[in-house]
Amino acid sequence: MALGQFIEENAKYVFNTYGRTPIMLIEGRGCRVKDSEGREYLDFVAGIAACSLGHGHPRLAAALADQAKKLIHVSNLFHIEPQIRLARLLVEHTFADKVFFCNSGAEANEGAVKLARKFFHDRGEHDRYWIVAMENSFHGRTLATLAATGQMKYRQGFEPEVQGFRHVAFGDLVALEKALTADVCAVLVEPIQGEGGVRIPPQDYLSNVRELCDARGCLLMLDEVQTGTGRTGTFLAHERFDFVPDVVTLAKGLAGGVPIGALLATDRVAQAFVPGSHASTFGGNPLAASAAIVVVEEALSDGFLKNVSDKGAFLGAKLAQLASRYPLIKEVRGMGLMQAIELAVPCADMVAAMRERGVLVNCTAETVLRFMPPLIVTEAEINEMIGALDAVLAGIREVPDA
């Protein structure tokens, strides 16, 4: 079947919820993917930061094949060996004491909201259920995580909104302190705002948020769905900011592209969930957990995270060099292999132009070109992407007036 026919059948049979790129990817190896027409692309999207080990990773593929021959799914009515092994890995290498598994970042964040409310309900503080989140944030597309998301464009059309969320400016400690009234149970914040445009807070912001939460007796919950599992050069991004949270959510890169989410918490908070409080049919099933074990072990292997940090610094420096030559680039920002350039114009056309040059990137917040390659990317591949970006930028001759 030709690509055009597949596109027609997609329009006929699949909900029209995505503005899909007019190509169909069918295979990949490392940081490269190939489409149905045989064209190869360098992948700097990585399934939106999900394909941590790239495509066709031998160890990940073998683990999936081996587990699929044994058990794919049994439900959480039974003990699951790979799930227990994965939980132990996460606990031994993070702040957490307990882990709950689900299937996505939205589910993990939904679980965090429920956990925070249940924690205070069990203490008899039934009116303490409000959560303070950040403007420009993104936490998912369930009704509760939409309400937590600080971007109105995602919430429009789904009113009435779930109650119990208020928003303050990301990085504004004064506004946060005013918002932490006695009815607040938790603060929910991304260490780096991903869908909001790869926005990084001041170095001491998150540790100060921790201090405010302690002073007001509320929980600090971090959405590390996009920043976790090594993306920023440490296993969890908050490790760069010198504080300890109460709750962290993970997903995306945790299983290298296999759907999984995780809710990590300290014992003090985790005890609020008891049998019947929360559940997930597929969460942490044998197949997904086996994949995640491979990714976590690789991320924690000698030199892996340092390599991510070094390659991220290399990518950031290359982007900064382009910024010095092209006024179209307003700012370069990022951490590890989560990098971006903010442009003076919308970047959708640049995404298409990069694709024509054999490189896949994506646009967020309308004017931010985002670069999130697999964590195994090489300097040569970064240089290849930079060369394509240089050529695309050189072809844009007009810069809007400031």
Q: Are 180 and 218 in contact (CB under 8 A)?
A: yes
Residue 399 domain flag = no
Task: Count the domains in the chain.
Answer: 2
Same-domain check for residues 243 and 383: no
Catalytic residues: 138, 223, 252
High-pLDDT (> 90) share of the chain, %:
98
Q: What average pLDDT does the segment 366-370 reach?
A: 97
Q: Are residues 292 and 348 in the same domain?
A: no
| pLDDT, tens digit (0-9, with 9 covering 90-100), for 281-329 | 999 999 999 999 999 999 999 999 999 999 999 999 999 999 999 999 9
Helices 81-92 and 286-299 cross at an angle (nearest 10°) of: 30
Domain end position, chosen among 258, 276, 299: 299
pLDDT value at residue 242? 86
331 and 237 together in one domain:
no
Is residue 132 located within the same domain as residue 38? no
Residue 316 lies in a domain: yes
Give rounded-to-5 percent helix, strand, coil for the chain: 40, 20, 40
CA-only gyration radius of the chain, Å: 21
Token readout for 290 is 């086996």
Q: What is the mean pLDDT of the chain?
A: 96
DSSP conformation class of 97: S
What are the structure tokens assigned to 286, written together? 């044998």
For residue 245, give the nearest of 88, 102, 115 by alpha carbon: 115
Pair 120, 139 in one domain: yes
Range of the domain at 321: 3-56+303-394
Report the CATH number that the domain containing residue 88 is assigned in CATH: 3.40.640.10
Same domain, 312 and 366: yes
Could you report the per-residue pLDDT of 12-33, keeping only the tens digit for each? 999 999 999 999 999 999 999 9
- Looking at residue 99, its pLDDT comes to 98
Per-residue pLDDT tens over the stretch 202-215: 999 999 999 999 99
User: What are 231's two structure tokens?
Assistant: 């993306």
Q: For residues 47-51, give the mean pLDDT.
A: 97
Tell whether the model's pLDDT for residue 61 goes beyond 90.
Answer: yes
Q: Is there a single domain that holds both residue 247 and residue 327?
A: no
pLDDT for res 321: 98
Helix (H) or strand (E) holding 176, with range, is helix 173-179
Considering the domain architecture, whether residues 172 and 277 belong to the same structural domain is answered as: yes
Question: Where among 250, 284, 299 does a domain terminate?
Answer: 299
* 131 and 261 within one domain: yes
pLDDT digits (tens, 9 = 90+) for 311-320: 999 999 999 9
Q: Are residues 12 and 85 in the same domain?
A: no
**398 pLDDT exceeds 70?**
no
pLDDT at 1: 81
